[in-house]
Each structure stands twice: as structure tokens, then as C-alpha cells.
């Protein structure tokens, strides 16, 4: 019932920008958050950014803070990740995630852990060249 579909990836030069979108359906927003993760070849999944179900709170990994911005549209079914000043190390497959966080502030959530229930999209490739 819950489906997530990412789009917007592509090839961009270092210093350039891309905007990723996650179209979502069947979500439970109360006490759930949306997030972006990424995985480079041969690497483990890495947290990128998160947004509360209401869109009122956001949280970023240190590696992207000041360069990436996460948004939720007014319909609550599209989550966007604006990526500016891209670097070669940003190259990865980016995944949309929906997970329960309860009342925990986003910056205190154990994003590297495994929640009891979460949902993932299929990913979109971002390649940054120099």
C-alpha cells in the first residue's frame, strides 16, 4: 500500500545543482518522518536529510548541511531534496524513506539504526563529475 518513487537524478558537474523528488502514497504522517538516504558503490547506506510529517522540522547530515535543502509540498505527497554546490563525494544512489520516529526530535533519531517498520523507494542515481 505504501509506495515511494524517486526521480530527478542525473549527471552534473561539481558545483552544480539537482533537485530530487519523492512521490509518496499510502503514508501515515502522524509520528512518521520522511528522509533521504544515499548509498555509494561498495558503501553502506548513509543518512542525508529528514523532515517531519508536518514539514515544520528538518534535519541534515553534517556532510550536506548548508548545501542541501529538504522540502514537502502542500499536498503532503511529494518530498523534494534541493542539492546545491554538489561535490564528487555526493555521487550515490539516493533513496526516499518513510519511517516512524514517535515524538523524538529529528536530530536525536538513530538514523543509522533499523526501525521496526519503514518503507523505501527504488532510488535515483546522482553522479557528480569534475
Average pLDDT, the chain: 92
Query: Cell 524513506 appears where?
Result: 97
CA proximity to 90, closest of 20, 21, 39: 39
The alpha-helical segments, DSSP class H, found in 1-130 are none
pLDDT of residue 115: 79
Q: How far does CA 93 lie from the centroid of its chain? A: 11
- Of 19-23, 54-58, 60-64, least confident by mean pLDDT is 54-58
Collapsed DSSP state (helix, strand, coil) of residue 10 = strand
Look at residue 108 in the predicted model and tell me its pLDDT. 94
Q: Average of pLDDT values for 102-120? A: 88
Residue 75 φ then ψ, to 5°: -85, -10
Amino acid at each position: 500500500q505504501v509506495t515511494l518513487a524517486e526521480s530527478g537524478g542525473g549527471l552534473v558537474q561539481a558545483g552544480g545543482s539537482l533537485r530530487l523528488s519523492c512521490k509518496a502514497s499510502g503514508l501515515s504522517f502522524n509520528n512518521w518522518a520522511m528522509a533521504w538516504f544515499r548509498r555509494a558503490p561498495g558503501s553502506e547506506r548513509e543518512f542525508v536529510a529528514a523532515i517531519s510529517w508536518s514539514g515544520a522540522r528538518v534535519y541534515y547530515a553534517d556532510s550536506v548541511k548548508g548545501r542541501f535543502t529538504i522540502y514537502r509540498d502542500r499536498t503532503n505527497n511529494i518530498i523534494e531534496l534541493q542539492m546545491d554546490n554538489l561535490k564528487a563525494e555526493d555521487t550515490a544512489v539516493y533513496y526516499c524513506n518513510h519511517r516512524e520516529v514517535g515524538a523524538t526530535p529529528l536530530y536525536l533519531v538513530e538514523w543509522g539504526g533499523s526501525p521496526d517498520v519503514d518503507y523505501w523507494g527504488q532510488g535515483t542515481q546522482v553522479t557528480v563529475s569534475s
